Structure 1
Amino acid sequence: SQVLVSNTSPIESLSVSRDATREANAEGYVPVSIELNFKNQPEILDEASLSRYIEGRFSEIVDTYTYVNEHILLTNSNQPDYALSKQADGHYTATVLAFGIPRHPTQLYESMTSLALCFVLFFIWTRRKEKTPAGLLLGLFLIILFGLRFVHELFKENQVAFEDDMSLNMGQILSIPLIIAGVFILIRALRAKTIEGQ
C-alpha cells in the first residue's frame, strides 16, 4: 500500500510491501519493507542529511501515518534497519526492514455474520410469515446482531486510548443495552403470541 505525504515533509511517498526474501520472526509476524521515496531536492537532501533524518526521526515519520504505526514492528526498536540509495534521476529512496503485525479482519467477520443474519431472518419471515408475532424478528435481530458485535469487539484494537484501562471497550458497552432491548422485545412478542393462542 502507498501513502502520499504532505508538502512540508521531505518524503514524497511511503509504501509498504511484503518482503519475500526474509522469514517471519519468532512471533510469526510477516516481514515487510517500508519504502520511503524522498523529494528530488539535491540542494538540501543529500545522503548524510537523509541518514540523520531517518535515524533520528523514523519513529516520528511512522507515527505520522497511523495506519503504518499500528501495523508495523521494526526489526530493531532503537534504530531502523535501512538501506539508502540514489536513483538515476537524482532523488533518494530508503528501504526500511520491518515486520507486519497481524490483525484480525474484523470488518470481514462483521459483514459475513450480518449477511448470515439477514438470510436467517428472511428465512424465518418467508416460512412463518403469518405465524410470526409482531416484534419477534426485531428482537432476534437486536440480540443476534449486537451479541455478535460484542464478540467481534474482542478481536479489534482499541480505537481510543482510554479504552486500554477498561475491561470492556465502548463497542461492547454500547452493545449491552441493545441486547437487553432485544430480549425485552422478544419476550413481549412471545407473550403476546401465547395470550393470542389461549
Structure 2
Amino acid sequence: MLLRDNERNAPITNDTLRAQVMRSITGWLDSTSLAQRPQAQTDLNAAAHVFSADYQQLKQDVGIMGGCWEIDIKGDTVCSNSDFLTVGLETYAYTGGAHPNTYRTLLSFDRHTGQPLHLTDFVSDTTGLLPMVEQAFRDKQGVRSDQSLEDEGYFLRDGRFFLPENVAAGRDGLIFYYNPYEIAAYALGP
C-alpha cells in the first residue's frame, strides 16, 4: 500500500512504508544468509531470492518435513483525516513449526510533513498513560485489578506492565496493539 505520487509528502511516507515492509520480510530471513547477501535488506528481489534459497536448503536438509514456506504482507488504511494517516500492515509468515505467525504493524504519519508519528507526538506524559492502558488491557482480557497478570499467563518486563510496540492514531483516539508473543503466548492471541 503506497500513497499516490501526487499526494502531499507521499515520497516521505512511501519510503517509510517500503522500509517497514522490507523489515517485515528480512525478519524472517536466516541471519547468515542475509549477511552473505546484504543487498537483501533493501532490495525486494534479493530478499525473495534469499528466502527461496533458505527454503530450498531446508528442504534438501530435511526433505518433506520442511513443509511449505510463505510470507504475505497486506496493507490498508486504518484511519485518515486532514492531520494524520494511520496504516496497518498485516504480516502472515510460515517457515515451519507448529503454527504460522501473524503480526500487525501500525504506522501513523503527519499529513503535513509525511513524517512518521510516535507516541510522544500524541501524549507528553507516557508514565501517566501506563496505568490507563493497563486498566483497559485488564478490562479487555477479563483480569481483575487484584489479579496478577503474570499468574494469568501474561509476560511482563521486570514484573511491570508495559506499552506495546504498536501505538498509533485511530478514529476514536490512540490504538494500543500487542502482537502474539509480545505480552502473551501465541495461544492467547493478539
Instruction: Name the TM tier (shorter chain).
Output: under 0.3
- If each structure's helix is expressed as a fraction of its own residues, which one has the higher value? 1
Q: Kindly name which structure, 1 or 2, has the bigger radius of gyration based on alpha carbons.
A: 1
TM-score by length of 2: 0.24
TM-score by length of 1: 0.24
